[in-house]
Amino acid sequence: MDVPRLRYPHSGKRNRLIGLGLATLLIGGTGAFFFTRRPASTPQTVATSTQSVTVAPVQTASISRTINATGTVAARDLLPIAPEASGLQVQQVLANEGQTVRSGQELAILSSDVLRSQLNQSQAQSTSAQAVLGQRQATLQQQQATLAEAQSNLRRYQQLAQSGAISQADLEQRATAVATAQAAVSTAQAGIGQAQADIQASQADIQRLQTQLGQTIVRSPANGVVAESLAKVGDVASTSNPLFRLIRNGDLELQIKLPATQLPQVKVGSPVRITSDVDRQINVQGTVREIAPLVDPQTRQATIKINLPQNPAIRSGLFLRAAITTQTTQALTIPSKAVLPQSNGSSTVFVLQPDGTVRSQTVQTGVTQGNDPNNTTVEIAQGLNTGDRVVVAGSGYVKDGDRVTIAQQ
């Protein structure tokens, strides 16, 4: 029995749609397979980055071996200035501490009223003595005339006595007159001598008082800088107490102490770099002026005196540092910034290789030198050679074997 085939509306169209869908899936899956799978023969590219750094060559330079010490600034020659007259009050103070003065400049004025009064009195006494001298000189002339007359009379009477014209008593009377006149002349001469002595004494007093009046002006004995002004208006001056202390010519020195073991390394004339921890303006060059011949038996140290240049920032009493150059040699150097201190106490640098990578190298450092704290160089005693190039800026951001790019400096 034949079963009739059922027919559905649109059944042909439906079959075509199913076939088209299967074909699409097959093509899509195949394409996805080819697009997601990379051929084995194509290498994969990996992006890398390099650190930008600056480098500096290892150079040969002069290295100064130094002994470091600290000390105090002092006056090279400190002059006490005391008045030359005692018992006088200070009337004016004309110089202040820190003031630069010249030789002979007035520093203070003392009271002069008493001295001027005494001078006037001595001058009056001198005038009076000169008047007395004049009177006594006139008296002497009179007495000398009287003596001459008496002597003339005596000679005449002596002739008369020989002829018997006068008595012996008359002759003796004339002789007595001569003796009296001679005594009067001697007295007048003595009076003149006394008057002359009085004049000399009054002149000496006048000269002394004029000198003392000059001493009421206290003057600087030399060019220099006033270190201390001890004078105060109203104080009574004394020759034993200074009114000022003067730094002669303003010359200062740095006084340091060194152990006896270091003294053989220091020579008079050795250059010294002077710096301050608190004032960056103080960075000057000095020289060793004097090495004390005696060593303190207690501390086993000796004093070294170092000349200082004129510098308004350097004052007596300042605490400064000194680096005394004891030897100058040639050595390998690099910028200090290239050295990386390690936790174990060693130091390393990064050396640029021909292939553009860097290699870590342990080095032994020596003396650091340079006036600019941000631009110093350090001696390399071991670990590098002339011509090597080391990383300076950026050394803290690279590691052994890294490839670097050299930046323009």
The CATH H-level (homologous superfamily) assignment of domain 113-212 is Helix Hairpins (1.10.287.620)
pLDDT surpassing 50 at residue 318: yes
Q: What is the pLDDT of residues 344-398, one digit of tens each?
A: 989 999 999 999 899 999 999 988 887 676 788 899 989 899 889 999 988 888 8
Q: What is the DSSP letter of 2?
A: P
Global pTM reads 0.58
The reported pLDDT for the residue numbered 177 is 86
Q: Report the chain's terminal Cα–Cα distance, integer Å.
A: 105
Domain regions of the chain by residue span: 82-111+217-248, 113-212, 252-406
Q: What is the pLDDT of residues 66-120, one digit of tens each?
A: 899 999 999 999 999 999 988 899 999 999 998 999 999 999 999 988 888 888 8
Burial of 322 (0-12, 13-18, 19+ CB in 10 A): buried
Q: Which of 36-45, 170-179, 306-315 has the lowest mean pLDDT?
A: 36-45
Confidence label for 38 from pLDDT (cuts 50, 70 and 90): very low
Top pLDDT among 4 and 404 is at 404
CATH code, 82-111+217-248: 2.40.50.100
Helix (H, G, I), strand (E, B) or coil at 154: helix
Burial of 173 (0-12, 13-18, 19+ CB in 10 A): middle
Top pLDDT among 343 and 43 is at 343
The reported pLDDT for the residue numbered 167 is 77
What's the CA gap between 300 and 253, in Å, rounded? Answer: 22
What's the CA gap between 204 and 122, in Å, rounded? Answer: 9
The CATH H-level (homologous superfamily) assignment of domain 252-406 is Efflux pump adaptor protein, beta barrel domain (2.40.30.170)
Q: At what angle do helices 168-215 and 113-163 cross, to 10 degrees?
A: 170
- Which residues does 294 contact at the CB level (< 8 Å), separation at least 6? 302
The reported pLDDT for the residue numbered 370 is 74
Q: What is the pLDDT of residues 164-215, one digit of tens each?
A: 777 788 778 888 888 888 898 888 888 888 888 888 888 888 988 888 888 8
Asked whether the domain spanning 113-212 has the same topology as the one spanning 82-111+217-248, the reply is no
